[in-house]
Chains A and B, each alone.
Chain A
């Protein structure tokens, strides 16, 4: 259930500019209010740990679409994911 909640938040950030602003400006309190997130999932968001989110199984397209919310451009995103080459299947 919680992976779906994680993906839902990423989907929402890409569509809802008010929530996106809140995420960018008050990330810790915003994430703390996510009742379906595990503590580790909250940490991934709070720390902006994109590699951990990827390894957690988040859909890669949702993740790359949301990379700007973690302060990354496309090049930085793919640099962060390099240690995970070969870990997920097509």
Chain B
């Protein structure tokens, strides 16, 4: 089969750590959209999820790989106790992960890889809130959207496209998830600042089928979008691994209480 589903969303820690702080109506809209996205993913019965998210110092400090692919039989998470879910093993799919690694290296993408990865909120929030079945294997990808210098958005797109070529031809039914962003200022004095203009420009591009917003982020509002917006790289990898399509935005919220602009997007809505 091939890529059968593709979803991008945010992963603000407050979504699971302190959900009650957001207004009830906003919470219901966002969680409802995430649940809908999860139902769409599970409805197409994926054999495996490829989940791209950004690093948050859960694994990497001295060594900061631009791209990391976990090829182990499993990963584990969450790293954070305050997410309120028990740490568990998340099954992987070493066979497909090794093919992704070999293909990447053959095509000139000298990515880092390993067998053990501690998943943090960037991975656990989408898995939990989308209610992904716990037996579904997950291949985690970590991109450095945290510490400059970071991989360029263009390079993220190129690697994503390269992965997409392999996954489209793979016998497995693959669901893609990209997690991070949109605008936010984590840990900064400006924490809570949001740029809906920038966020909307990204989403408008995707709904028009214009993936260039993922390799050339909108200039308007970029300075206001904050350092957390660099997590868009996870969307870039996912977006370029997905067959071109007009995306469907399931939700966008200026979630002040959780400190960011949060979106849920189906990149491959069923026609």
The interface stretch among B100-108, B149-157, B174-182, B188-196 is B188-196
| Structural contact, B186 and A60, CB atoms closer than 8 A | yes
| Structural contact, B189 and A85, CB atoms closer than 8 A | yes
State the main secondary structure of chain A at its contact with B.
helix
- Alpha-carbon distance between A82 and B187 when the two chains are bound, in angstroms: 11
Chain A residues whose CB sits within 8 angstroms of the CB of B61 once the complex forms: 7-8, 11
Contact mask for chain A residues 47-90; partner B; CB cutoff 8 A; 1 contact, 0 none: 00000001000011111110000000000001001111111101
Chain A residues whose CB sits within 8 angstroms of the CB of B57 once the complex forms: 11, 14, 59, 61-62, 65
| Structural contact, B189 and A90, CB atoms closer than 8 A | no
Q: Which of A14, A59, A84 contacts B189 (CB 8 A)?
A: A84
Q: A11-B57, A11-B61 are in contact. Are A61 and B225 (CB under 8 A)?
A: no
| Structural contact, A61 and B190, CB atoms closer than 8 A | no
CB nearest to B18 among chain A residues: A74
Kindly state the interface size class of chain B when it binds its partner: 10 to 19
Q: How far is the CB of A77 from chain B (nearest CB, A)?
A: 8
CB nearest to A62 among chain B residues: B57
Chain A residues whose CB sits within 8 angstroms of the CB of B187 once the complex forms: 59-65
Q: A11-B57, A11-B61 are in contact. Are A60 and B188 (CB under 8 A)?
A: yes
Q: Which of A82, A83, A90 contacts B226 (CB 8 A)?
A: A90
Chain B residues whose CB sits within 8 angstroms of the CB of A63 once the complex forms: 187
- Alpha-carbon distance between A79 and B187 when the two chains are bound, in angstroms: 11
User: Considering residues B62, B147, B189, which has the most beta carbons from chain A within 10 angstroms of its beta carbon?
Assistant: B189
B229 at the A interface (CB under 8 A): yes
| Structural contact, B147 and A81, CB atoms closer than 8 A | no
Measuring CB to CB, which residues of chain A are less than 8 angstroms from any residue of chain B?
7-8, 11, 14, 54, 59-65, 78, 81-88, 90
> What are 17 pairs between A and B in contact, CB < 8 Å?
A7-B61, A8-B62, A54-B189, A60-B186, A60-B227, A61-B186, A62-B57, A62-B187, A64-B187, A78-B192, A82-B189, A85-B189, A86-B189, A86-B190, A87-B189, A90-B223, A90-B229
